Amino acid sequence: MRAWGERLWAADPRWRDLGLALLVQAAVTIPFVVPRDPRESPATWTAYLLTSLGNVPLVWRRRAPVAVLFGVVAAGSVYGLALDGPGQPLPYAGLIAVHTIALYSSERVRTVMAVVVTVLVFASVALNTRTARELLFALFVFAAAFALGRLQATRQAYTQAVEDRAAQLERANRIEAEQAAARERARIAREMHDILSHAVSIMIVQAEAGPVAVRRAPARAEAAFEAIAETGRDAMAQLRTMLGVLRTDEPAPRAPQPGIGALPALLERVRAGGTAVTYARTGAVRELPAALEATVHRVVQEALTNVVRHAGATSVDVRLEYGERDLTVTVADDGRGPAAGAAGGPALSSAGGGHGLIGIRERAAAHGGTASFGAGPGGGFTVGVRLVLSPPEVMEVVRAVGAVGT
């Protein structure tokens, strides 16, 4: 029952206004029920009803504060001029009306009503005791009611601003969480694509060459089957690591992602399929951040996967060129080139079709770089990726900070 009453009280402000009006009614009733000096004015029912009538407008104080003030003043004026009943220690209804105007009305209305109330106070004192004491007291209590109304309005505005800000932050956090989840899904999709596409492509090429090698070169067939097994084991290990990150019921393994140092093993698996691979690093070769090295590895892996699956190439050249502020990764083959895409050649042309090259572009963009694809100078297909590097002095500071932290 109590909970129901609290909900009702909070749901409709009119119940609070009614309760306030009843509280004021109780206060103005006191002079009519306490024992009185016989020499004072008698407490009549007419005086009590007229006093109660001055409290009734308080029920509508939020909806029409100015009208409520004038209604209270009118009832008080009739009471003071037409009757000689018990007085009140404070003009409760009038003070609440002034407080309400200060709280809910516009600045223009507040200014006009402040002037009107001041004039009414002077007129009331002139018709009553005409003393400075009454004048100062009346001005003080009405000014206090007005000031409290403004303070409450400021507090409500501040509270509303804080709540709005909290709601905006909640929405922003929710949107950021959704975007982060989408980015993570895209990252995982790229990783899954790179791992599976490369591994399956190498395994298919080796498996297709296996039967021929068994008849003509058993030693080569054995190497092909070993390459298939090694590629499968590597893919399973990487997939197990990635799936472990996604699981919540067991800790995920913390193996680092493959970097530039793992490129020779990657190239060797491609060589095992019969494609000649050359690899070179030029420029100021230096250590790079782990995330950037992983990106280089994935870019080369995806480019080689396209070579194995689509190019029909006999050789491919992988080159890493270290500049002062960038790293250029180039993978060029002597295969059919982009023109064969429609006929089963490189399905990923310079137009950017296919998930593989889209993933390469996304990886390059994540490091402030660019990616380009198309026919090479001597034919075939070339993948070129430029990645932005931090200046060498910045990397020295990063390494120094990491050394201190350990």
Query: Average pLDDT, stretch 254-258?
Result: 65
What per-residue confidence (pLDDT) applies to 290?
Answer: 86
Q: pLDDT band at 353, cuts 50/70/90?
A: very low
Token pair 């004072």: residue: 40
Please determine, for residue 2, whether its predicted confidence score (pLDDT) is greater than 60: no
Q: Which domains does the chain have, with CATH numbers?
A: 2-130 (no CATH), 275-406 (3.30.565.10)
Q: pLDDT band at 4, cuts 50/70/90?
A: low
Neighbours of 379 (CB within 10 A): 14
Distance in angstroms (rounded) separating the CA atoms of residues 193 and 242: 12
Please determine, for residue 12, whether its predicted confidence score (pLDDT) is greater than 90: no
Average confidence score pLDDT of the chain: 79
Longest dimension (CA), the chain: 135
Q: pLDDT band at 345, cuts 50/70/90?
A: very low
Distance in angstroms (rounded) separating the CA atoms of residues 289 and 390: 9
Residues 6 or more apart from 362 whose CB is under 8 A from it?
Answer: 186, 190
* Tens-digit pLDDT profile for residues 162-218: 999 999 999 998 998 888 888 777 777 777 766 666 677 667 666 666 666 566 666
What per-residue confidence (pLDDT) applies to 253?
Answer: 52
pTM of the complete model: 0.49
Please determine, for residue 394, whether its predicted confidence score (pLDDT) is greater than 70: no
Task: For residue 60, give the 3-state DSSP assignment.
Answer: helix
Please determine, for residue 338, whether its predicted confidence score (pLDDT) is greater than 90: no
Dihedral, CA of residue 127, residue 131, residue 137 and residue 138, to nearest 10: 20
Could you please report the per-residue DSSP string of 140-204? Answer: HHHHHHHHHHHHHHHHHHHHHHHHHHHHHHHHHHHHHHHHHHHHHHHHHHHHHHHHHHHHHHHHH
Please determine, for residue 76, whether its predicted confidence score (pLDDT) is greater than 80: yes
Phi, psi torsion values for 288, nearest 5 degrees? -120, 160
What per-residue confidence (pLDDT) applies to 102?
Answer: 92
* Tens-digit pLDDT profile for residues 219-234: 666 666 666 777 677 7
In contact, 359 and 302? CB cutoff 8 Å? yes
Angle ∠(291,294,297) on CA atoms, nearest 5: 155
